[in-house]
Amino acid sequence: MSVETQKETLGFQTEVKQLLHLMIHSLYSNKEIFLRELISNASDAADKLRFEALAKPELLEGGDPLKIRLSFDKEAKTVTLEDNGIGMNREEVIAHLGTIAKSGTADFMKNLTGDQKKDSQLIGQFGVGFYSAFIVAEQVDVYSRRAGSPASEGVHWSSKGEGDFQVATIDKPERGTRIVLHLKSGEEEFADGWRLRNIVKKYSDHIALPIELPKEHYGEEKDKPAEPEWETVNRASALWTRPRSEVKDEEYQEFYKHVGHDFENPLSWSHNKVEGKLEYTSLLYVPARAPFDLYHREAPKGLKLYVQRVFIMDQADQFLPLYLRFIKGVVDSNDLSLNVSREILQKDPVIDSMKSALTKRVLDMLEKLAKDKPDDYKTFWKAFGQVLKEGPAEDFANKEKIAGLLRFASTAGDGEEQCVALADYVARLKDGQDKLYYLTGESYAQIKNSPHLEVFRKKGIEVLLLTDRIDEWLMSYLTEFDGKQFVDVARGDLDLGSLDSEEDKKAQEEIAKAKEGLIERLKGVLGEQVAEVRVSHRLTDSPAILAIGEQDLGLQMRQILEASGQKVPESKPIFEFNPGHPLIEKLDGEPDEDRFADLSHILFDQAALAAGDSLKDPASYVRRLNKLLVELSA
């Protein structure tokens, strides 16, 4: 044991303490995953060394083959995992093993409920890595030295997984990391060669690095060699380089958990080798669950990039557009140089060709999932639908293909969990309908009974109900589908085209003419609050609504801009009234101008509330309404 110097005790970051406690209790039913996580980290350490050694070959320190070694001691109740990868220096050990440097960690911790089943799913979504060791270990010791550092700069980290950890400087002749798990009472099953072999075969067979265990000797003790003989227990070849026909579904699933840092199986994957002008292999996965930091735009995203099987970088985000940032996987190219950097990737025309092809492959994979496994697609849509909605604005070339993957609620269904495809909506259009109608709003509950839908219900016309914050912005880019224009039913002067009979249109003109006097009176009272007053063709049951001008921002976009601190362009609504409603008839015959004004303002404010907007002067609305109620009860 080498002499320890510069020894200090440090406290875990608060989030680490919470996460350790929750993880140990939530993931206990699946405790063998600790080994998968530690092996995955060791594999990453070897990848990073290979990459850094491209520029600095001396980091390989003599060129021993990269490997992972797994051993155990039944008497001491320990399991040891050792790699000769990149290793860590003192600062890196403190940073990686004492803190969780992930954006959104605090938000993630708030979402934990104390319900073990739910929390285990959330923790899996967060990615726990090294800390999973404490599921089975009462104490963990880590010995590490970074490649290129002198032997005297080794570091020893030790903790019982409670409030603090110790760090000391040691001599460590060999580079890399050795982790010693001191097993808890009752976890001795893991200090067993057969058990460890089975776990490696089950979870880590795909690791493209030899995982070695001491060879088992079943004869007399005297037959055992003094030094252990090591044998490789995994296949040790890069899974994506093998023919598809030779890879089992279980192997694809376990590789996804390694590359996606996820605990759940993916919904779908696509393994493809391209030959010809460009040569590369891709293995792409659609996750079942969104990572907790999906909406943190600075969060790492992208594919693992290899060049001729040599790891180059994690999160290479140049190969897929931002709206597909949830896709995980690997791309291995023969056409890029080994010293490629992020800056070079941004300028390389080969990347543009690969990005275009990989984007199409992902969209095809999603189409297939929607067609063959609609329930799985619903799971995908719930997790990633809002991100996919960024697509039409970002990717003009694939706009129609993306539109075909979008899902909405509609007036033809029941509940906001509907997944109506645009192709299905188009198939149900009424005879003579050449427009696709939609309505946006804050929530399904708010817009399903919107007055804007009254004429559509009367005529049996289906309307899409869009309630995501991004929807109004989406529809400013998605103007048509299948050659038919989208129409916002709350915007402009509603024209139902051939769905309105000539008799209907003639009657509307006559009513508008007959109500010119009422229109002028309302304009005089509402004044600067409105852009226009007119007779409505949308209403059958409600007295009045507010329509949005053809070029004006809707409520969703105004709220998004206000929330981000941007200046919102001034706009005024159009006040439309239903000439056949008893309240409007009463208003039209009201001789008292003060009472007429009060009633008009009440109708205007009610129309604003029905549209999901807030009142500019709620106190005046309440005062007028109370005055009216007193008059009615007198």
pLDDT, one tens digit per residue, over 425-438 is 999 998 888 899 99
Q: Which of 123-137, 150-164, 257-271 has the lowest mean pLDDT?
A: 123-137
Q: What are the DSSP calls for 320-332, one per residue?
A: S-GGGTT-EEEEE
Q: Which of 107-121, 222-236, 275-289, 616-630 has the lowest mean pLDDT?
A: 107-121
Range among 89-93, 315-319, 508-512 rated most confident: 89-93
* Bridging pattern class, strands 164-170 and 5-11: antiparallel
Provide the residue ranges of all domains of the chain, joining segments of one domain with +. Answer: 5-234, 241-381, 388-498, 511-633
Range among 52-56, 217-221, 420-424, 555-559 rated most confident: 420-424
Class of domain 388-498: alpha beta
* DSSP bridge pairs for 86: none
Distances (CA, A) of 374 to 88, 361, 419, 584, 615: 46, 19, 9, 48, 42
Protein fold of 241-381? Ribosomal Protein S5; domain 2 (3.30.230)
Q: What is the pLDDT of residue 101?
A: 47
Looking at residues 220-232, what average pLDDT do you find?
73
Percent of the chain at pLDDT exceeding 90: 40
pLDDT tens-digit map of 41-84: 899 899 999 888 888 989 988 778 999 999 999 999 999 999 99
Looking at residues 485-493, what average pLDDT do you find?
86
Q: What is the pLDDT of residue 552?
A: 73
Q: What is the pLDDT of residue 103?
A: 45
Confidence of residue 493 (pLDDT cuts 50, 70, 90): confident
Q: What is the pLDDT of residue 114?
A: 59
Tokens of 31: 């405790």
pTM: 0.78
Quick check: 481 pLDDT over 70? yes
| Cα gap 60→175, rounded to integer Å | 9
Q: What is the pLDDT of residue 45?
A: 92
* Bridging pattern class, strands 280-286 and 303-307: unpaired
Quick check: 338 pLDDT over 70? yes
Is residue 79 within 8 Å of 191, Cβ to Cβ? Answer: yes
Quick check: 240 pLDDT over 80? yes
Confidence of residue 382 (pLDDT cuts 50, 70, 90): very high
pLDDT tens-digit map of 248-297: 999 999 999 888 878 789 999 999 999 888 899 999 999 998 876 777 66
Protein fold of 5-234? Heat Shock Protein 90 (3.30.565)
Protein fold of 511-633? Four Helix Bundle (Hemerythrin (Met), subunit A) (1.20.120)
Print burial letters for 76-111: b (CB count within 10 Å at least 16), e (below 16): ebbbbbbbbbbbbbbeebbebbbebebebbeebbee
3-state secondary structure of 301: coil
Q: What is the pLDDT of residue 588?
A: 87
Cβ-based neighbours of 261, under 8 Å, separated by 6 or more: 40, 127, 129
Q: Which of 112-121, 247-256, 431-440, 571-580 has the lowest mean pLDDT?
A: 112-121
Looking at residues 592-615, what average pLDDT do you find?
87
Average pLDDT in the chain = 85
Quick check: 633 pLDDT over 80? no
